[in-house]
C-alpha cells in the first residue's frame, strides 16, 4: 500500500469574505499556525485554493497528526480542520488515499464523497470523481451506506494544480478572525470565570489581548496571581494572550475604604482600575479596554454603575459577555479550558473591603464629588509603574520599544 504524506487542511469562512484584504488575514493565520505548531513535525504551510495546508513530515503517525489537528482547531480564524493525505492527481492513488482516510475517520455508518476540481487541466470532472471514488469505497465497505444529506463522514477530494488532497476526519474550529488582525486591547483579567472568557472572545475577533490583573496584595495573599498565570497559560496555547500586568492594589483599596462612603467603594475601586488599565493601554498603544461584566450580575454591573465607571476613561470599553447569563459563561469557560482553574478559591481585590450594601444606582455627580478626596492623578501612574509584567507566547504581538529617557 502506498504511504502518502499526511496533511492538515485548514478551512476558514470569515476570512474568505474579506475581498482585497483577504491575503493579509490569510498570512496572519499562517504565521500564527507556524508558531503554534512548532512542537509538531511540520514541513511547511502553504495557501492552496482558498485553504491553508499544513504538510507534515513523511512518516508522521496518525496520533501525531490528530494531535496537530486538535491544536489547529482551537486557533482563532479556523472554521474547520481536516486530517488527510497528499497524493498524485491519479484516480487510483486518490481512491487509495480515500480508503486510507476513511479508515481513520472513526466510527460511522453513512458517508459521501465530495470532490472538487480546481483546475480544468485534470480531465475527470467533480461529478465523475464522486462516482468513481464513491463506487470503490462502497465496494470496500459494503456494510456502510451512502447518504447525500448530513452523512456521518464526508470524504473530501481536492484536485489542485500539482497534487490532490484527500481527507475524511474533520473537526469544527473556533472560527472568528486570526489573532493580530484587529489591533490591541487591554483586558481586566481576574482569576474568576467571566473575564478569561471575555478575553478569549476578543481574541477570536482578531485582537491581541494584554491582561491586567488587580491583586489584593499586600492586603491579601498573591494566590490569585498564580491562578491568573494558569489561565494565561491556557490562553497562550492558541496565541490568545500576549502579556499580563499584575498590579498590587490592596493598599489603594484600603485608602479608598477609609475615605469614601462605604456604599461607593465598589464604584471607586472600578473607576481606579479602569484608569490604571487605560494608562497601561496608553503605554502599550492599545485601542480599547475589555471586561467580563454581564448586565445585572452583581452590584457594580447595573446600568447606572456601568455608566459611572465608563466615565472614568476615554477609551471604549468592550463587554462581550454583557448579554449572557452565568450558565452560558460557564459553558464557554469549560469550552476554553479555564473553568476548573477559575473555580478555585483565592482572595483577590474583588472581595477586599466590600461594603454590606453597595450602591446599585450611582449618580455620577455624587461619585465625582467623593472621588475628589482621593489623589487619583498621583495614584494612576504610581500603580501602573508598580505592575509586574509576565509575557506569553503570542505570535502576533510585538512589544513596544521603550523610549530613551
Is 213 annotated in a binding site? The answer is yes
pLDDT attached to residue 354 = 67
Cα 368 from Cα 17, distance rounded (Å): 46
352 pLDDT more than 70: no
Query: Please, which residues have CB within 8 angstroms of residue 260's CB and are 6 or more apart in sequence?
Result: 268, 370, 371, 373, 374
355 pLDDT more than 90: no
Average the pLDDT over 359-374 and give the result: 93
φ, ψ at 326 (rounded to 5°): -65, -40
- Whole-model pTM: value is 0.89
Cβ distance 367 to 264 under 8 Å?
A: yes
φ, ψ at 126 (rounded to 5°): -60, -45
Q: What is the pLDDT of residues 230-270, one digit of tens each?
A: 999 999 999 999 999 999 999 999 999 999 999 998 999 99
Question: 243 — alpha (psi -120 to 50), left (phi > 0) or beta?
Answer: beta
Is 189 annotated in a binding site? The answer is yes
C-alpha cell at 119: 483546475
pLDDT above 70 covers a percentage of the chain that reads 96
339 pLDDT more than 90: yes
Give the mean pLDDT of the chain.
92
Q: What is the pLDDT of residues 102-157, one digit of tens each?
A: 999 989 999 999 999 987 889 899 999 999 999 999 999 999 999 999 999 999 99
* Residue given cell 495557501 in the structure block: 47
Q: Is the dihedral of CA 380, 382, 388, 390 positive or negative?
A: positive
Cα 254 from Cα 5, distance rounded (Å): 63
In the chain, the domains with their CATH numbers are: 3-170 (3.30.2130.30), 182-389 (3.40.50.620)
Is 337 annotated in a binding site? The answer is no
**Would strands 208-215 and 184-188 be described as parallel, antiparallel, or unpaired?**
parallel
Cβ distance 342 to 196 under 8 Å?
A: yes
Q: What is the pLDDT of residues 194-244, one digit of tens each?
A: 999 999 999 999 999 999 999 988 888 888 999 999 999 999 999 999 999
Cα 220 from Cα 317, distance rounded (Å): 28
Cα 123 from Cα 132, distance rounded (Å): 13
Cα 1 from Cα 59, distance rounded (Å): 14
pLDDT attached to residue 348 = 62
Q: Between 161 and 124, where is the model more confident?
A: 124
pLDDT attached to residue 118 = 85
φ, ψ at 252 (rounded to 5°): -70, -35
Using H for helix, E for strand and C for coil, what is the string for the chain? CCCCEEEEEEECCHHHHCHHHHHHHHHHHHHHHHHHCCCCCEEEEEEECCEEEEEECCCCCHHHHHHHHHHHHCCCCCCEEEEEEEECCCHHHHHHHHHHHHHCCCCCCEEEEEEEECCCCCCCCHHHHHHHHHHHHHHHCCCCEECCCCCCEEEEEEECCCCEEEEEEEEECCCCECCCCCCEEEEECCCCCHHHHHHHHHHHECCEEEEEEEECCCCCCCHHHHHHHHHHHHHHCCCCCCEEEEEECHHHHHHHHHHCCHHHHHHHHHHHHHHHHHHHHHHHCCCEEECCCCCCCCHHHCHHHHHHHHCCCCCCEECCCCCCCHHHHHHHHHHHCCHHHHCCCCCCHHHCCCCCCCCCCCCHHHHHHHHCCCCHHHHHHHHHHHCEEEECCCCCCCCCCCCCC
Cβ distance 239 to 393 under 8 Å?
A: yes
Cα 142 from Cα 124, distance rounded (Å): 25
pLDDT attached to residue 70 = 95
Is 292 annotated in a binding site? The answer is yes
Neighbouring CB atoms inside 10 A of 250's CB total 19
C-alpha cell at 134: 464513491
Is 188 annotated in a binding site? The answer is yes
Average the pLDDT over 319-328 and give the result: 95
Cα 80 from Cα 74, distance rounded (Å): 10
Amino acid at each position: 500500500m502506498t504511504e502518502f504524506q499526511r496533511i492538515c487542511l485548514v478551512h476558514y469562512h470569515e476570512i474568505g469574505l474579506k475581498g482585497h484584504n483577504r491575503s493579509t488575514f490569510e498570512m496572519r493565520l499562517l504565521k500564527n499556525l507556524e508558531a503554534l505548531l512548532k512542537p509538531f513535525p511540520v514541513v511547511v504551510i502553504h495557501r492552496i485554493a482558498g485553504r491553508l495546508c499544513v504538510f507534515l513530515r513523511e512518516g508522521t503517525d496518525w496520533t501525531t497528526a490528530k494531535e496537530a489537528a486538535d491544536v489547529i482547531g482551537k486557533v482563532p480564524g479556523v472554521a474547520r480542520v481536516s486530517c488527510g493525505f497528499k497524493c498524485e492527481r491519479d484516480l487510483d492513488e486518490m481512491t487509495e488515499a480515500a480508503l486510507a482516510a476513511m479508515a481513520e475517520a472513526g466510527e460511522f455508518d453513512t458517508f459521501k464523497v465530495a470532490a472538487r476540481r480546481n483546475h480544468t487541466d485534470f480531465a475527470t470532472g467533480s461529478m465523475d470523481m464522486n462516482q468513481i471514488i464513491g463506487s470503490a469505497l462502497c465496494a470496500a465497505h459494503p456494510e456502510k451506506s451512502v447518504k447525500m444529506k448530513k452523512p456521518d463522514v464526508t470524504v473530501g477530494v481536492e484536485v489542485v494544480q500539482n497534487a490532490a488532497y484527500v481527507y475524511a476526519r474533520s473537526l469544527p474550529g473556533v472560527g472568528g478572525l486570526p489573532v493580530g488582525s484587529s489591533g490591541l486591547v487591554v483586558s481586566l483579567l481576574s482569576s474568576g470565570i467571566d473575564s478569561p472568557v471575555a478575553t478569549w472572545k476578543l481574541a477570536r475577533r482578531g485582537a491581541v489581548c494584554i491582561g491586567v490583573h488587580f491583586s489584593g496584595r499586600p492586603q491579601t495573599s498573591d494566590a490569585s496571581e498564580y491562578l491568573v498565570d494558569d489561565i494565561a497559560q491556557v490562553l497562550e496555547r492558541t496565541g490568545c494572550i500576549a502579556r499580563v500586568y499584575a498590579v498590587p492594589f490592596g493598599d489603594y483599596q484600603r485608602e479608598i475604604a477609609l475615605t469614601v462612603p462605604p456604599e461607593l467603594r465598589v464604584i471607586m475601586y472600578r473607576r481606579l482600575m479602569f484608569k490604571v488599565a487605560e494608562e497601561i493601554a496608553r503605554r502599550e498603544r492599545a485601542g480599547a479596554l475589555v471586561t467580563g461584566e454581564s448586565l445585572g450580575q452583581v452590584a457594580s454591573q447595573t446600568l447606572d454603575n456601568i455608566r459611572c465607571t465608563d466615565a472614568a476613561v476615554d477609551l471604549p470599553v468592550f463587554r462581550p459577555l454583557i448579554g449572557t447569563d452565568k450558565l452560558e459563561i460557564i459553558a464557554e469557560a469549560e469550552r476554553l479550558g479555564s473553568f476548573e482553574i477559575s473555580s478555585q478559591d483565592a482572595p483577590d481585590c474583588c472581595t477586599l473591603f466590600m461594603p454590606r450594601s453597595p450602591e446599585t444606582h450611582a449618580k455620577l455627580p455624587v461619585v465625582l464629588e467623593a472621588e475628589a478626596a482621593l489623589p487619583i492623578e498621583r495614584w494612576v501612574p504610581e500603580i501602573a509603574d508598580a505592575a509586574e509584567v509576565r509575557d506569553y507566547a503570542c505570535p502576533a504581538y510585538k512589544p513596544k520599544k521603550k523610549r530613551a529617557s
